[in-house]
């Protein structure tokens, strides 16, 4: 049985921390690098879940939202970085509705 793998897109300390747990990934500090790593994760058929820090996801929000809506795999999960969780302007329910194309 094949196991799906995780892929982490984050700042250097976060990538190092996850690598100690055996998860691979890449460091990003620019929107171009974030997009490059997202494409890399999409091209790997073994990647089933992408963990990306909230701040990096916000740098390429449209790409992340389109991927969540249009791609079956991998799933994309936003995680806090070392600075902690970001304050959200919209509720989780409103965010889910917008991702699914439902009215608010």
Q: Are 100 and 65 in contact (CB under 8 A)?
A: no
How many residues comprise the chain? Answer: 104
Give the dihedral of Cα atoms 44, 64, 80, 6; nearest 10 deg.
-10
Mean pLDDT taken over the chain: 88
CA distance 80 to 88: 12
pLDDT tens for 29-80 read 999 999 999 999 999 999 999 999 999 999 999 999 999 888 889 999 999 9
pTM: 0.80
Which of 29, 19, 37 is closest to 56 using CA atoms?
29
**Tokens standing for residue 101:** 């194309």
CATH class of the domain comprising 5-100: alpha beta
């Amino acid at each position: 049985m094949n196991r799906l793998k995780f892929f982490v897109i984050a700042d250097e300390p976060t990538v190092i921390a996850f690598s100690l747990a055996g998860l691979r990934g890449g460091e990003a500090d620019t929107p171009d690098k974030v997009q490059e790593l997202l494409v890399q994760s999409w091209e790997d058929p073994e990647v089933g879940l992408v963990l990306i820090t909230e701040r990096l996801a916000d740098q390429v929000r449209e790409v992340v939202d389109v991927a969540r809506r249009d791609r079956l795999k991998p799933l994309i999960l936003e995680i806090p970085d070392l600075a902690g969780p970001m304050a959200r302007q919209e509720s989780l329910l409103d965010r889910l509705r917008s991702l699914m194309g439902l009215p608010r």
